[in-house]
Amino acid sequence: MGLQQKRQDMATLEDIVNLECYPLNAPDSEKYRECVERISRQLDEDGCAHFARFIRSDLIERLREESEEVAPKAHYHSNKVTPYATADDDAYPEDHPMRRFQAFSNGFVAKDLIDEDKLVQRLYRNPIFQQFIADCLQEERIYEYADPIAGLVINVMPENTTLPWHFDTNEFIVSLMTRRPESGGDFQYAPNIRTPGHENFEEVQRILDGDHGKVKSLTLNTGDLQLFKGRYSMHRVAPTQGQRLCALLGYAKEPGMIGRVKRTQDVYGRVTQAHIDAENAQREDSLAG
pLDDT reported for residue 266:
81
Cβ neighbours for 110, distance < 8 A, ≥ 6 positions apart = 75, 149, 150, 153, 268
Residue closest to 261 by CA, chosen among 244, 248, 278, 245: 278
Give the predicted TM-score (pTM) of the model. Answer: 0.89
CA angle in degrees (0–180, nearest 5) for 217-129-221: 30
pLDDT reported for residue 142:
96
pLDDT reported for residue 78:
80
Cβ neighbours for 166, distance < 8 A, ≥ 6 positions apart = 81, 83, 84, 85, 234, 235, 236, 289
Mean pLDDT per 10-residue section of the chain, whose length is 289 residues: 82 94 96 97 94 97 98 90 90 94 90 96 96 97 92 92 88 95 95 93 96 96 96 94 95 88 86 87 63
d(C-alpha 64, C-alpha 2), whole Å: 33
pLDDT reported for residue 177:
98
pLDDT reported for residue 282:
53
Residue closest to 238 by CA, chosen among 260, 220, 214: 220
